[in-house]
């Protein structure tokens, strides 16, 4: 039983089937990319803000919070929060606590011709459709006045906070402060 060991059989492996599959995949990719470019030459990156029914209307011509918009700060996805309801007037000038990256903090006192409940509903409805989330609502810790805080992750990798704090309210008007500031942490 002493058999002589035989050398292994020699076979050749062809790469042709793999090359054919790669070639077909490349042609399909080129074909569909060409169709996409021809059918959709430009990408529209703008979004449409939904119309909020039942809340106070936005004063689209207002410049009351325009000074809070600096070049590139806050980014456009965050500056959508800089809105006020119609029949709102300034009660003070813009207050700056910081302007640079990581230190942006802009506030202004305003007076709106609406009770505080309608004012909070305005900001809740209009900011929610713009991607902001309510993360705190109730009385301010220091002054015990009603407030609502919204948070949103910005395209600049920072969290942003938008706050509405009521200073005084009656059945016909509300004096309040809005504040937009950059959170301390990155996303």
Residue 37: inside a domain: no
Tell me the two tokens of residue 83.
């809105």
CA–CA distance, 167 with 169 (Å, rounded to integer): 7
Backbone angles phi, psi at 40, to 5 degrees: -140, 75
Could you tell me how far CA 23 lies from the centroid of its own chain?
42
CA–CA distance, 149 with 180 (Å, rounded to integer): 10
Residue 166: inside a domain: yes
Question: Which residue is it, tokens 């802009």?
Answer: 106
What's the CATH number where 113 sits? 3.30.2030
**pLDDT at residue 41, as a whole number:** 65
**For the chain, how many structural domains are there in total?**
1
Residue 25: inside a domain: no
- pLDDT of 46 strictly over 80: no
- Quote the domain boundaries for residue 75: 66-186
- pLDDT of 187 strictly over 60: no
CA–CA distance, 153 with 133 (Å, rounded to integer): 10
Residue 110: inside a domain: yes
pLDDT one-digit tens code per residue, 11-34:
777 889 899 999 999 999 999 999
pLDDT one-digit tens code per residue, 153-165:
988 888 999 999 9
**pLDDT at residue 7, as a whole number:** 80
**Phi-psi category of residue 87: left, alpha or beta, with phi > 0 → left and psi -120 to 50 → alpha:** left
């Amino acid at each position: 039983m002493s058999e002589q060991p035989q050398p292994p059989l020699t076979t050749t492996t062809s790469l042709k089937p793999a090359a054919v599959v790669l070639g077909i995949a490349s042609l399909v990719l080129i074909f569909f990319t060409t169709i996409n470019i021809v059918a959709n030459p430009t990408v529209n990156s703008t979004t449409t803000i939904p119309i909020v029914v039942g809340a106070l209307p936005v004063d689209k011509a207002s410049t009351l919070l325009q000074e809070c918009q600096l070049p590139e700060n806050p980014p456009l996805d965050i500056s959508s929060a800089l809105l006020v309801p119609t029949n709102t007037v300034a009660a003070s000038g813009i207050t700056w606590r910081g302007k640079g990256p990581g230190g942006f903090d802009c506030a202004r006192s305003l007076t709106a011709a609406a009770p505080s409940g309608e004012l909070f509903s305005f900001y809740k409805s209009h900011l929610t459709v713009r991607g902001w989330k309510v993360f705190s609502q109730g009385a301010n810790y220091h002054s015990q006045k009603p407030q609502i805080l919204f948070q949103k992750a910005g395209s600049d990798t920072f969290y942003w906070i938008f706050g509405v704090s009521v200073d005084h309210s009656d059945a016909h008007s509300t004096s309040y402060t809005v504040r937009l500031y950059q959170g301390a942490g990155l996303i």
